[in-house]
Structure 1
């Protein structure tokens, strides 16, 4: 079953239904080599159904299809965490399935489903615990800017972090806003046009070791001013983001 699913994913399947369709349409010699069962006097190889594939993979691979062809992050510079809701997974009154996924270089490392009535925070440690993250920088949005997450990455996994700070961490956010950003000499400007908008980003970085920032292992902070212009309407918007990292 796992060989069938993995072969289908390598061939381009991105859902359980697509895996089942690939296995059903494969020539007889393919399921024979993968060990599919033979039925009848002619020994016809029968492909597993989509429901069977989903059930077996869910029991063996908590990350679903991603675990079958997931990328090992050990040699990567960075791993990005992001949540996503599976399209088409809502059934009746049942909510859509939400996953926390880890990716590197555009390739999926693994993913875990977020249980109902909880959020992505509860899956952060379980998602990354099986991997060697020594020297890898883990990036995540403001939801994961948690003290326990930072300690887990630095102290237990020998990794680094780059996290966004918003109002969910009020004290670090207040202290970051009060820093003397105008005196900062480490600056970078980026301009790009695409997706119907023009965007300019001005980034400034400061060493914050010893400044009393209430967050574990933080050594450097950055402020990103983002100016965005909608090319169709001419409407402009501005956003300020703060990030923190244990890197110097």
Structure 2
């Protein structure tokens, strides 16, 4: 993994690089595998890691005794925030061509807000087995819709069923998947698209050969 991470560009300037870039990424990955779910938890894991673990992860040394020093929580936060999320996912993610389904979903990175800078919002694609294929950061002052095609463009999706939430129930998205990627799609339609909702209601559903019905609760609804 370290060799693949080393191909990523270090987002930091030349001055102030006290901790190796790959070491910070490996430390964050190790902490998450161990159960860390926030930047604070990652930093706490790094501070509590024994010297032999820090050595294996490439932590920098200090003093004549060669003591390994882990990066601070703020350093970990800054490096992970500035590192290209799509590059990380492309290096460590799976191949969607080997999957039957691919789910596209967005989320706001917890703890990524800093001062007046809004939290990073990411759009990701995951296989049905839960493996992230790729992700990218949604630019500020825009939304996930503008990033949908860019997210999936590099990948072979022939025969793959792509799912997404109602935000991505767009004519352009459907054409992109079917005409350009030779993929299938399953989209959600809500009443905020009254024209499409009415068209679907008038279809002869009693003639449908494949049906699936489910009712669930989420977000208090």
TM score, norm. by length of structure 1? 0.63
State the secondary structure of the residue aligned to 1:35. coil
Moved more, 49-58 or 162-171: 162-171
Alpha-carbon spacing, 1:154–1:115, altered in 2? closer, same or farther (3 Å): same
**Offset of residue 168 of structure 1:** 5.5
State the secondary structure of the residue aligned to 1:102. strand
Aligned residue number for residue 242 of structure 1: none
State the secondary structure of the residue aligned to 1:99. strand
Higher RCO (CA-CA < 8 Å; seq separation 6+): 2
**Offset of residue 139 of structure 1:** 0.3
Aligned residue number for residue 160 of structure 2: 136
Q: How does 1:194-209 map onto structure 2 within 5 Å? A: 201=214
State the secondary structure of the residue aligned to 1:165. coil
Alpha-carbon spacing, 1:69–1:38, altered in 2? closer, same or farther (3 Å): same
**Offset of residue 37 of structure 1:** 1.3
**Whole-Å separation in 1 of the counterparts to 2:70 and 2:149:** 36
Aligned residue number for residue 114 of structure 1: 138
**Offset of residue 28 of structure 1:** 0.9
Tell whether the 8 Å contact from 1:58 to 1:64 is kept in structure 2 after alignment.
Answer: no
**Offset of residue 30 of structure 1:** 1.6
**Whole-Å separation in 2 of the counterparts to 1:110 and 1:100:** 9
Residue 24 (str. 1) matches residue 47 (str. 2):
yes
**Whole-Å separation in 2 of the counterparts to 1:93 and 1:59:** 16
Q: Higher Cα Rg: structure 1 or 2?
A: 1
Tell whether the 8 Å contact from 1:145 to 1:169 is kept in structure 2 after alignment.
Answer: no
**Whole-Å separation in 1 of the counterparts to 2:186 and 2:109:** 26
- 81, 84, 87: which one pairs with 1:61? 84
State the secondary structure of the residue aligned to 1:48. coil
Q: What residue ranges of structure 1 are gaps of 5+ in the alignment?
A: 191-200, 202-225, 230-236, 238-248
* Structure showing the higher strand proportion among its residues: 1
Deviating above 6 A after TM superposition, structure 1's stretches of 4 or more consecutive aligned residues are none
Structure 1 vs Structure 2 CA RMSD: 3.2
**Offset of residue 47 of structure 1:** 0.9
- 158, 163, 176: which one pairs with 2:200? 176
State the secondary structure of the residue aligned to 1:38. strand
Cα deviations by residue, 1:155-188 (Å, 9 ceiling, x for unpaired): 333322111234565554332222223x425254
**Offset of residue 80 of structure 1:** 1.3
Cα deviations by residue, 1:92-120 (Å, 9 ceiling, x for unpaired): 66544433232232343343333332111
**Whole-Å separation in 2 of the counterparts to 1:34 and 1:24:** 13
TM score, norm. by length of structure 2? 0.70
